[in-house]
């Protein structure tokens, strides 16, 4: 079963499209986890413990988690080892893993990235990887090939949620914006990896909740592509914005929340819970309800 079909099944099984981003920041960890940390080893251990405890809470509730590679890489090699263990632990709990690394290069270097990250037999064991398209169409081919080989997926940056994204992504070239040109390429590759003409393929895209009109247009432009939607919650996107990413059957999109869930203990709404994991659970359940309403 290809990644597009596996993701469809996972979303159907959990009856929601919530993706929990795992973005550990040392100064925001619950107090009991950040005390007594004096070096990179202590920080890496704390990140691993925190991430596993998040996974324990959300695994029965959501289909997907998205570890952010940068926060682990910040700790150097020890953090990278922790990231690998987080991916494996999430897989062992039945979750699909999207590694947010935004990698790419050309030729054999892109192939090396694809083999390092994609597929449960790879060193990092991710089911999918976020990928930058800005080196050109040929730079995506090694990732597409690896997706087919390893039943994995990629999410290509099409329209990102940050305020400055329009500097490049909204530029018009030959009558289309750069985002639209990338979207057409993503749709082509996704259709080619789909199990049927009306199924979702293994080549998805990233479109931010902070641009709902473009999200709606991209849903129509890429009917065979899963859309990973950042920007929900802390960045300002709401349920009324992300609804534009879904198809008529309530499929086709994943909505990511990181800070709003993993650091829910900082939110006064959940501050009454003495157990920070309970705050995570309640925040996750609230998001599921918001998206389902």
Instruction: Identify the pLDDT of residue 149.
Output: 97
Please tell me the predicted confidence (pLDDT) of residue 284. 97
pLDDT confidence band for 23 (50 / 70 / 90): very high
DSSP line for 184-203: HHHHHHHHHTSSSTTS--SE
Given the residues 102, 189, 269, 285, the one annotated as active site: 102
pLDDT at 238 over 90: no
More confident residue, 183 or 163: 183
| pLDDT for res 210 | 83
Contact 241, 268 (CB under 8 A): no
Distance from C-alpha of 41 to C-alpha of 75, rounded to nearest angstrom: 8
Of the pLDDT bands very low, low, confident and very high (cuts 50, 70, 90), residue 128 is very high
Task: Tell me what pLDDT residue 194 has.
Answer: 96
The average pLDDT across 243-256 equals 94
Task: Check whether 241 has a pLDDT greater than 80.
Answer: yes
Question: Would you place residue 271 in the very low, low, confident or very high pLDDT band (cuts 50, 70, 90)?
Answer: confident
Q: Give residue 263's pLDDT.
A: 95
> What confidence category does residue 273 fall into, taking pLDDT thresholds of 50, 70 and 90?
confident
Residue 132: C-alpha distances to residues 78, 113, 139, 146, 257 (Å): 25, 12, 9, 16, 21
Q: Compare 151 and 32 and report the one with higher pLDDT.
A: 151
**pLDDT, position 293:** 61
Confidence of residue 168 (pLDDT cuts 50, 70, 90): confident
pLDDT digits (tens, 9 = 90+) for 170-224: 899 999 999 999 999 999 999 999 999 999 999 999 999 888 899 999 999 999 9
Note the CATH number of domain 3-292.
3.20.20.70
pTM higher than 0.85: yes
Look at residue 31 and tell me whether its pLDDT is greater than 90.
no
pLDDT for the residue 291: 93
Say if residues 23 and 234 touch (Cβ distance below 8 Å): no
- pLDDT for the residue 236: 65
pLDDT digits (tens, 9 = 90+) for 48-98: 999 999 999 999 999 999 999 999 999 999 999 999 999 999 999 999 999
Q: Domain spans of the chain?
A: 3-292
Query: Residue 163: its pLDDT value, please?
Result: 86
Better-scored residue on pLDDT, 211 or 137: 137
Residue 289 has pLDDT above 80, yes or no: yes
pLDDT at 139 over 70: yes
Q: Would residue 52 show up in a list of annotated catalytic residues for this protein?
A: no
Per-residue pLDDT band for 282 (boundaries 50, 70, 90) equals: very high
> What is the structure's pLDDT at 192?
97
Instruction: Find the DSSP H helices in 15-136.
Output: 31-34, 40-58, 69-73, 77-92, 107-117
Task: Encode burial over 260-292: b for 16+ CB neighbours within 10 A, e otherwise.
Answer: bbbbbbeeeebeebeebbebbbbbbeebbebbe
Handedness of CA 18, 129, 126, 162 (dihedral sign): negative
Q: Which one is predicted more confidently, 4 or 293?
A: 4
């Amino acid at each position: 079963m290809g990644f597009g079909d596996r993701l469809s099944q996972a979303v159907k099984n959990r009856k929601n499209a919530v993706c929990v981003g795992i973005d550990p920041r040392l100064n925001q960890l619950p107090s009991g986890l950040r005390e007594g940390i004096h070096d990179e080893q202590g920080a890496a251990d704390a990140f691993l413990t925190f991430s596993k405890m998040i996974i324990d809470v959300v695994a029965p509730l959501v289909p997907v988690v998205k570890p952010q590679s940068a926060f682990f890489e910040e700790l150097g090699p020890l953090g990278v080892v922790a990231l690998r263990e987080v991916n494996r632990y999430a897989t062992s709990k039945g979750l699909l893993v999207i590694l947010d690394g935004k990698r790419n290069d050309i030729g054999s270097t892109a192939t090396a990235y694809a083999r390092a990250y994609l597929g449960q037999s790879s060193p990092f064991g991710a089911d999918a990887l976020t990928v930058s398209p800005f080196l050109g169409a040929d730079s995506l081919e090694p990732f597409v090939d690896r997706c087919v080989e390893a039943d994995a997926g990629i999410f290509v940056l099409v329209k990102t949620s940050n305020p400055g994204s329009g500097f490049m992504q909204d530029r018009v070239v030959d009558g289309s914006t750069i985002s639209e040109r990338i979207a057409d390429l993503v749709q082509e590759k996704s259709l080619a990896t789909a199990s049927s003409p009306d199924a979702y393929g293994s080549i998805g895209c990233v479109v931010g909740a902070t641009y709902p009109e473009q999200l709606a247009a991209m849903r129509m432009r890429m009917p065979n592509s899963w859309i990973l939607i950042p920007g929900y919650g802390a960045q300002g996107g709401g349920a009324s914005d992300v609804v534009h990413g879904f198809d008529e059957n309530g499929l086709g999109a994943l909505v990511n929340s990181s800070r709003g869930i993993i650091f829910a203990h900082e939110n006064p709404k959940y501050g009454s819970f003495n157990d920070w994991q309970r705050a995570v659970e309640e925040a996750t359940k609230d998001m599921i309800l918001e998206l389902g309403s």
